[in-house]
């Protein structure tokens, strides 16, 4: 408000100055006009008087001959007389008549408003009576200067020819100015009053308007600030939005936010002006692919809304990148499929493992007693042949249960640190026999291969199963390649490849150029009893066994197959940093016999107990038997002779084999232990891996298997 008052005062000041200036100019113009009028009147007066005096002189000359001086005096007298008959025209108007006498100006007539006093002569060369001096000098005209009294006057001067006189009509400048000064002062006063009054009225009238305008201005400023804030917010939201936002007019991009650069793979400057196309949406959104100039694609969810851009109908389009989400969903789907597959395999495995125990007990008895019966039968008789057939069938059944247990990961194993190259090398000869002459077997061992920890017999099982499958996939001639490599998978690779696990691995791959498989078959190949082979050619347990073995050793498998082109099965086994051991050659020795050692056999299955007793007795051992752990304990207490070895089932109703062996060891500290089972239990093994120092024989076993194992345990220091 203070500023406003100052402004108003300044306005009043300016208006005052302007008014004064205009008034002054007007008065100056009027004064100039009045001055000119006076000048004209004075000039006319002196000129008419001069001409009249000249005319009188001429008349006197014509009428009265005689002295010129007398005639001149008569004319002058007439003129003076004539003048005094009339009053002066104004307060300061004066008509003077003078002549030069020597160096003096002598005034003959001073006709003005003042009382007539004989004017003293004025020296011709003084600064006074300038108009008269000019008139006496013969000059005609007007001037502003000092009169004979020293007053500033406007004067007209005229010489009178023939009389040697000068005529001057003058008026004081102050008289000419007086009305203008007075009018100016009045006008200025009125003007100033009017200005102040007007300003006061203006302030009074305009103050509420000004206040209102002020308020409106404040409101406008607030609104503008608020709009600017909103605009900034909207701009920020658009600029920082992770989604691409573009505005198109007739399909041409007119605006794009920074996120559009990433989604389109182009700079904003490159995007603007490009023809994106007219967006059509049936629902709220649609998934489309954005093509980058470099070739890659981004999948986005597009939304569009009608809008205006520079007064043209336009589309506001948002593009939300869902590429990663789709990848994750795809990965998730694969993982779910794998989980379902794993659960299916697990349940089948549990079922297989569950029946294996009882089944193996039965098989042990069948095969054992068949072997014993064969010993009693005539070697070349029909009974011996029949029993031999029974034994062969038993061995086939034994293979099946072994594969089932391998798949169920209940196969008992003794892993060692080994290098796959020499392990595979020892198998190559056997594998060549297995696949036949028409198929070329190529062995490509990888250099500087890392060690793995696995039961060597499991490598044999894997290779045999995979090579048999590869052989069966090849019709006629073909090629099977076995190769090993070291591979490292990092987190990023595993993120993009479902089923892979980060870490360092040794790869064992078996490839063939056979018939290959379609996706439907691929999904089922690890299921037990799934086979595409003829009924008499496969059990459907080969790849299930491989699957079980790999899982038991914490590895993983990948299968690549294309119908008509071939199959590659890649097995990844974790790197092990331990030192590799040499694989012992298979023992070809004869059945070892006992040296009258005493063996306590504990087995709740009577048929096996009886069989084992018979086998061991025939091998030259003294055999004590018990069908429960309790009976075994009682027997050892009653028996004073030393017991060298206890051969016990692992799983029994009252007490497991391990606990029993520990109890008996209290009485016979040097007692050796050998466990037998259809499958291993946690008592002696963890996840099928034997505890260190534990000896174990898998049911069903042959007489030779048992004899070798018993001898090995007894001979161990």
Listed ranges 117-125, 286-294, 497-505, 708-716: which one lies at the site for another protein (CB under 8 A): 286-294
Cα-based torsion angle of the residue sequence 493, 497, 500, 503 in order, rounded to the nearest 10 degrees: 0
| Dist CA 648 CA 676 (whole Å) | 6
Nearer to another protein, 66 or 293 (CB): 293
Nearer to another protein, 277 or 540 (CB): 277
SS3 305: strand
Nearer to another protein, 105 or 253 (CB): 253
CB of 251 to another protein, least distance (A): 6
Q: What is the largest CA-CA distance in the chain?
A: 219
Per CB under 8 A, the list member of 205, 234, 291, 430 interacting with another protein is: 291
CB of 555 to another protein, least distance (A): 34
Interaction of residue 243 with another protein, rule CB under 8 A: no
Whether residue 387 contacts residue 471, with contact meaning beta carbons closer than 8 Å, is answered with no
CB of 244 to another protein, least distance (A): 11
CB of 303 to another protein, least distance (A): 10
Using a CB cutoff of 8 Å and minimum separation of 24, what contacts does 134-138 make? 134/166, 135/46, 135/98, 135/159, 135/166, 135/167, 135/168, 136/98, 136/99, 136/100, 136/105, 136/164, 136/165, 136/166
Whether residue 679 contacts residue 412, with contact meaning beta carbons closer than 8 Å, is answered with yes
Residue 102, phi-psi category: left (phi > 0), alpha (psi -120 to 50), beta (remainder): left
Nearer to another protein, 150 or 313 (CB): 313
- Give the DSSP H/E element, type plus range, for residue 312: strand 312-321
CB of 272 to another protein, least distance (A): 13
Per CB under 8 A, the list member of 12, 42, 154, 290 interacting with another protein is: 290
Per CB under 8 A, the list member of 57, 129, 132, 304 interacting with another protein is: 304
Nearer to another protein, 205 or 281 (CB): 281
DSSP state of 129: -
Nearer to another protein, 37 or 275 (CB): 275
Listed ranges 116-124, 150-158, 284-292, 379-387: which one lies at the site for another protein (CB under 8 A): 284-292
CB of 333 to another protein, least distance (A): 17
CB of 483 to another protein, least distance (A): 32
Per CB under 8 A, the list member of 102, 208, 295, 669 interacting with another protein is: 295
Nearer to another protein, 46 or 256 (CB): 256
Closest CA to 261 of 245, 277, 237: 245
Cα-based torsion angle of the residue sequence 132, 135, 140, 146 in order, rounded to the nearest 10 degrees: -20
Closest CA to 276 of 291, 297, 287, 262: 291
The three-state (H, E, C) secondary structure of 81-104, written as one string: HHHHCCCCCCCCCEEEEEEEECCE
Per CB under 8 A, the list member of 113, 138, 150, 251 interacting with another protein is: 251
CB of 322 to another protein, least distance (A): 14
**Which residues are 452's β-sheet partners?**
418
Nearer to another protein, 273 or 476 (CB): 273
Contact string (CB under 8 A) for another protein, positions 254-283, x = contact: ----------x---------xxxxxxxxxx
Listed ranges 7-15, 285-293, 542-550, 668-676: which one lies at the site for another protein (CB under 8 A): 285-293
Nearer to another protein, 141 or 258 (CB): 258
Scanning the structure block, which residue is given the tokens 């043209």? 312
CB of 294 to another protein, least distance (A): 9
| Dist CA 659 CA 683 (whole Å) | 8
CB of 253 to another protein, least distance (A): 9
Tokens of 368: 């054992």
CB of 279 to another protein, least distance (A): 5
In 589-715, which ranges are E strands?
A: 598-602, 622-626, 645-649, 672-677, 685-686, 689-690, 696-698
Residue 298, phi-psi category: left (phi > 0), alpha (psi -120 to 50), beta (remainder): beta
CB of 266 to another protein, least distance (A): 9
Nearer to another protein, 248 or 412 (CB): 248
Site for another protein in 77-96 (CB under 8 A): none
Nearer to another protein, 302 or 391 (CB): 302
Nearer to another protein, 46 or 304 (CB): 304
Per CB under 8 A, the list member of 116, 212, 239, 297 interacting with another protein is: 297
CB of 295 to another protein, least distance (A): 5
Tokens of 328: 């994750």
- For strands 689-690 and 685-686, give the pairing: antiparallel
Intra-chain end-to-end CA distance of the chain, in Å = 114
CB of 319 to another protein, least distance (A): 9
Interaction of residue 668 with another protein, rule CB under 8 A: no
Whether residue 634 contacts residue 679, with contact meaning beta carbons closer than 8 Å, is answered with no
Listed ranges 218-226, 293-301, 373-381, 667-675: which one lies at the site for another protein (CB under 8 A): 293-301
| Dist CA 538 CA 529 (whole Å) | 9
Residue 401's contacts (CB-CB under 8 Å, 6 or more residues apart) are 356, 359, 360, 363, 700
| Dist CA 530 CA 469 (whole Å) | 13
- Give the DSSP H/E element, type plus range, for residue 404: helix 382-407
Residue 131's contacts (CB-CB under 8 Å, 6 or more residues apart) are 143, 145, 147, 153, 155, 156, 157, 168, 170
Listed ranges 223-231, 288-296, 568-576, 621-629: which one lies at the site for another protein (CB under 8 A): 288-296
Listed ranges 289-297, 376-384, 481-489, 546-554: which one lies at the site for another protein (CB under 8 A): 289-297
# of chain residues touching another protein (CB under 8 A) = 22
Sheet holding 598-602, edge to edge: 622-626, 598-602, 645-649, 672-677, 696-698
Nearer to another protein, 130 or 321 (CB): 321
Per CB under 8 A, the list member of 2, 65, 69, 289 interacting with another protein is: 289
Q: How far is CA 511 from CA 419, 465, 507, 558, in A?
A: 20, 13, 12, 12
Number of other residues whose CB lies within 10 A of the CB of residue 632: 27
CB of 282 to another protein, least distance (A): 4
Nearer to another protein, 324 or 343 (CB): 324
CB of 500 to another protein, least distance (A): 25
Interaction of residue 293 with another protein, rule CB under 8 A: yes
Per CB under 8 A, the list member of 89, 288, 494, 714 interacting with another protein is: 288
Whether residue 40 contacts residue 154, with contact meaning beta carbons closer than 8 Å, is answered with no
Nearer to another protein, 280 or 666 (CB): 280
CB of 455 to another protein, least distance (A): 46
Nearer to another protein, 137 or 297 (CB): 297
Judged by the rule CB under 8 A, the positions of this chain that interact with another protein are: 251, 264, 274-283, 286, 288-291, 293, 295, 297, 302, 304
């Amino acid at each position: 408000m203070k500023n406003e008052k100052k402004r108003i005062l300044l306005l009043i000041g300016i208006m005052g100055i302007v008014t004064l200036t205009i008034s002054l100019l007007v008065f100056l113009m009027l004064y100039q006009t009045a001055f000119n009028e006076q000048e004209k009147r004075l000039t006319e007066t002196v000129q008419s008087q001069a001409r009249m005096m000249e005319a009188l002189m001429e008349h006197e000359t014509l009428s009265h001959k005689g002295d010129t001086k007398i005639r001149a005096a008569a004319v002058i007298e007439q003129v003076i007389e004539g003048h005094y008959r009339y009053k002066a025209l104004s307060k300061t108007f004066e008509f003077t008549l003078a002549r030069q006498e020597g160096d003096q100006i002598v005034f003959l007539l001073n006709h003005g408003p003042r009382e007539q006093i004989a004017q003293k002569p004025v020296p011709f060369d003084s600064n006074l009576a300038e108009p008269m001096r000019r008139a006496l000098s013969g000059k005609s005209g007007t001037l502003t200067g000092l009169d004979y009294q020293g007053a500033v006057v406007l004067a007209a001067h005229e010489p009178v020819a023939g009389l040697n006189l000068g005529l001057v009509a003058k008026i004081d400048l102050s008289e000419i100015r007086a009305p203008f000064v007075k009018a100016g002062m009045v006008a200025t006063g009125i003007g100033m009053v009017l200005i102040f009054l007007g300003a006061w009225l203006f302030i009074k009238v305009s103050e509420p308007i000004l206040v209102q305008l002020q308020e409106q201005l404040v409101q406008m400023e607030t609104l503008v600030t608020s709009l600017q804030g909103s605009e900034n917010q909207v701009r920020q939201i658009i600029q920082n939005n992770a989604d691409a936002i573009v505005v198109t007019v007739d399909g041409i991009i007119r605006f794009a936010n920074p996120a559009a650069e990433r989604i389109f793979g182009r700079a904003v400057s490159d995007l603007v002006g490009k023809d994106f196309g007219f967006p059509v949406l049936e629902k709220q959104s649609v998934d489309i692919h954005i093509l980058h100039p470099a070739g890659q694609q981004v999948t986005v969810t597009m939304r569009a809304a009608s809008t205006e851009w520079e007064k043209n109908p336009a589309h506001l389009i948002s593009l939300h990148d869902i590429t990663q989400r789709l990848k994750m969903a795809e990965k998730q789907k694969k993982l779910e499929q794998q989980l379902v597959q794993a659960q299916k395999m697990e349940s089948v495995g549990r079922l297989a493992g569950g029946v294996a125990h009882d089944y193996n007990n039965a098989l042990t008895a069948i095969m054992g007693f068949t072997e014993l019966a064969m010993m009693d039968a005539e070697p070349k008789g029909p009974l011996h042949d029949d029993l031999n057939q029974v034994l062969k069938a038993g061995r086939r059944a034994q293979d099946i249960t072994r594969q089932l247990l391998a798949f169920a990961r209940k196969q008992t194993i003794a892993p060692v640190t080994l290098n796959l190259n020499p392990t595979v090398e020892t198998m190559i000869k056997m594998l060549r026999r297995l696949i036949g002459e028409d198929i070329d077997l190529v062995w490509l061992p990888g250099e500087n291969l890392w060690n793995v920890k696995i039961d060597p017999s499991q490598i044999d099982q894997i290779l045999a199963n995979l090579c048999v499958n590869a052989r069966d996939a090849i019709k006629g001639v073909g090629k099977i390649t076995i190769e090993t490599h070291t591979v490292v998978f990092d987190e990023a690779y595993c993120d993009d490849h479902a089923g892979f696990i980060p870490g360092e691995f040794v790869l064992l791959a078996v490839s063939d150029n056979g018939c290959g498989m379609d996706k439907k078959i691929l999904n089922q190949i690890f299921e037990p009893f799934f086979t595409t082979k003829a009924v008499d050619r496969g059990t459907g347990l080969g790849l299930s066994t491989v699957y079980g073995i790999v899982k038991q050793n914490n590895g993983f498998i990948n299968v690549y197959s294309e119908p008509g082109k071939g199959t590659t099965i890649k097995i990844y086994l974790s790197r092990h940093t331990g030192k590799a051991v040499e694989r012992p050659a298979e023992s070809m020795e004869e059945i070892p016999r006992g040296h009258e050692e005493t063996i306590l056999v504990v087995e709740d299955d009577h048929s096996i107990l009886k069989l084992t007793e018979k086998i061991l007795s025939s091998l030259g051992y003294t055999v004590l038997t018990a069908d429960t752990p309790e009976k075994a304990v009682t027997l050892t207490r009653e028996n004073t002779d030393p017991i060298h070895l206890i051969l016990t089932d692992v799983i029994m109703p009252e007490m497991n084999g391990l606990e029993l062996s520990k109890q008996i060891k209290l009485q016979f500290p040097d007692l050796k232990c050998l466990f037998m089972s259809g499958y291993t239990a946690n008592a002696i093994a963890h996840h099928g891996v034997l505890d260190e120092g534990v000896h174990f024989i898998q049911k069903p076993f042959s007489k030779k298997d048992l004899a070798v194992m018993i001898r090995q345990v007894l001979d161990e220091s």
